[in-house]
Amino acid sequence: MKTMGFADAIDDALAQAMVDDSRVVVFGEDVHGLRTGLFVRFGEKRVRPAPISEAAFVGAAVGAAMAGLRPVVEVMMVDFIGVAVDALLNHAAKVEAFSGGKWKVPMVVRAPCGGGYGDGGQHEQSLWGWLAHIPGLTVVVPSNPADAGGLMLSAIEHEGPVVYLEHKLLASNMLDFLGSGGRKTVQYDVPAEGTCGSVPDGWMPIPLGKAAILHEGKDITLVSVAVGVHRCLEASAILKKKRISAGVLDLRTVSPLDKEALCQAVSRSGRLLVVDEDYRDFGLSGELAAVVLEAGIPMRYGRVCTEETIPYCREFEHQILPSTGRIVDAAIKLMDR
């Protein structure tokens, strides 16, 4: 085991995949600058900077994957995926179904996501639930370096299209690039265990659709992804002092969803609190409730999500993003009922 940063772990696993399989290529906006190590090691043919043409280069990734490559295509931020949605919604996600299962699209769209550094509502969205809504898309959202590397390997090996989202509060290079810009005068609520941690000496794939129980709890189950997982862990520690045993489940992939792990945890605790940095309405939080209820498991339910456009102002932003304080309050409310 060794220690590695979140973003380094992704790049390291990606490098391993590139060594093992010459069909793996990387392209996207500024990849020579953002992935300097890969650019130097694998050369411009395999790590290729793209024009600001998301519709074209994400669309090209679909074609390239259909024709034999395994592209890892980078979009500067998940918000900018809006420009390329057609490629994902109507093409990447549909080819396998349209071809009767005979033709698959093994591509990864890698995009930074998430807020908490004051960049405004067009640059801090999460959108994992919105993307996972589309049948045919796999959506991966890791919360720590070890998962980030292992899941990247699985995403590349997967035969279908995967959206791989890296939260900017975890990927320190992105936070430095877009948030602090080298300033020592700004502070962010960065979860230490998420940004840096132990990783295996050689990367092994972590199966897609497998959640991780990070903390067992008998009174309530907190479920989240990415930074939300760390807020849940903090909340769980605070709740423990209040004699509430709160378990924490890290979904790791939003789609496919680990329904079994979710249902097992909730059937034990009888209470589900979803912590989702993505938008509340019509998204992941409602989906988790539906899954549990469809399984016939009685429960009390609550959610702490982003409910509106993310404000630029740091103070307002903090109020609307799921925070440890909001999670604790919501958990206590669920216990009282």
Partner 1 sequence: MGPDLWLLYRQMLRSRRFEEAVTDLWQKGRISGEMHLGIGEEAIAAGIVAHLQDGDAMALDHRGTPPLVMRGVDLSLILREFLGCADGICCGMGGHMHLFSREHLTASSGIVGSAGPIAAGFALAAQHLRPGNIAVAFFGDGAMNQGMLLESFNLAVAWKLPVLFVCKDNEWAIVTRSQHVTGGNLLERARSFGMPALEIDGADVEAVWNAAKQGVDRARKNNGPTFLLARCIRPEGHFLGYLPLRRSLESMIGMVGPIMHSLPARKGASPGERIASLGSITSLIGRTLTEKYSKRRDPIHHVRQRLRGEKARLNEIEKEVEKEIQQAVERALS
Q: Which residues belong to the active site?
A: 123
* Cα gap 250→258, rounded to integer Å: 10
Q: Does 274 bind partner 1 (CB under 8 A)?
A: no
Interface with partner 1: number of residues (CB under 8 A): 56
Which residues make beta-bridge pairs with 305? Answer: 276
User: Could you tell me if 89 and 109 are in contact, meaning their C-beta atoms sit under 8 angstroms apart?
Assistant: no
User: How many angstroms separate the Cα of 112 from the Cα of each of 166, 168, 175?
Assistant: 5, 6, 10
CB of 199 to partner 1, least distance (A): 15
Residue closest to 109 by CA, chosen among 68, 55, 165: 165
Among the listed ranges 64-72, 113-121, 199-207, 247-255, the one in contact with partner 1 (CB under 8 A) is 113-121
Q: Does 296 bind partner 1 (CB under 8 A)?
A: no
Interface mask toward partner 1 for 201-240; x: CB under 8 A: ----------------------------------------
* Cα gap 326→28, rounded to integer Å: 37
User: Could you tell me if 160 and 104 are in contact, meaning their C-beta atoms sit under 8 angstroms apart?
Assistant: yes
User: Could you tell me if 83 and 36 are in contact, meaning their C-beta atoms sit under 8 angstroms apart?
Assistant: no
Token couple for 57: 């280069």
Q: Does 9 bind partner 1 (CB under 8 A)?
A: no
Q: Does 279 bind partner 1 (CB under 8 A)?
A: no
Helix and strand element counts for the chain (H, E): 15, 14
Among the listed ranges 43-51, 92-100, 217-225, 283-291, the one in contact with partner 1 (CB under 8 A) is 43-51
CB of 306 to partner 1, least distance (A): 14
Residues 162-181 within binding reach of partner 1 (CB under 8 A): 176-181
Q: Does 37 bind partner 1 (CB under 8 A)?
A: yes
The verdict on whether omega for the bond into residue 161 sits within 30 degrees of 0, i.e. cis, is no
CB of 4 to partner 1, least distance (A): 12
* Cα gap 71→17, rounded to integer Å: 11
User: Could you tell me if 232 and 222 are in contact, meaning their C-beta atoms sit under 8 angstroms apart?
Assistant: yes
Q: Does 94 bind partner 1 (CB under 8 A)?
A: no
Residue closest to 46 by CA, chosen among 14, 16, 22, 76: 22
Q: Does 56 bind partner 1 (CB under 8 A)?
A: yes
Among the listed ranges 41-49, 193-201, 221-229, 235-243, the one in contact with partner 1 (CB under 8 A) is 41-49
**3-state DSSP assignment of residue 202:** coil
Residues 308-337 within binding reach of partner 1 (CB under 8 A): 309, 311-316
Token couple for 16: 């391993």
**3-state DSSP assignment of residue 201:** coil
Which of 66, 119, 259, 297 binds partner 1 (CB under 8 A)? It is 119
Please give the backbone phi and psi of residue 211, each rounded to the nearest 5 degrees, phi first: -80, 165
Nearer to partner 1, 80 or 301 (CB): 80
Which of 23, 63, 66, 80 binds partner 1 (CB under 8 A)? It is 80
CB of 223 to partner 1, least distance (A): 29
Q: Does 22 bind partner 1 (CB under 8 A)?
A: no
User: Could you tell me if 105 and 161 are in contact, meaning their C-beta atoms sit under 8 angstroms apart?
Assistant: yes
Which of 33, 135, 207, 256 binds partner 1 (CB under 8 A)? It is 33
Q: Does 66 bind partner 1 (CB under 8 A)?
A: no
CB of 45 to partner 1, least distance (A): 7
- Please provide the distance, in angstroms rounded to a whole number, between the alpha carbons at the two ends of the chain: 45
Which of 3, 36, 90, 198 binds partner 1 (CB under 8 A)? It is 36
Residues that bind partner 1 (CB under 8 A): 15, 18-19, 29-30, 32-33, 36-47, 49-56, 76, 79-80, 82-83, 117-123, 176-183, 185-186, 309, 311-316
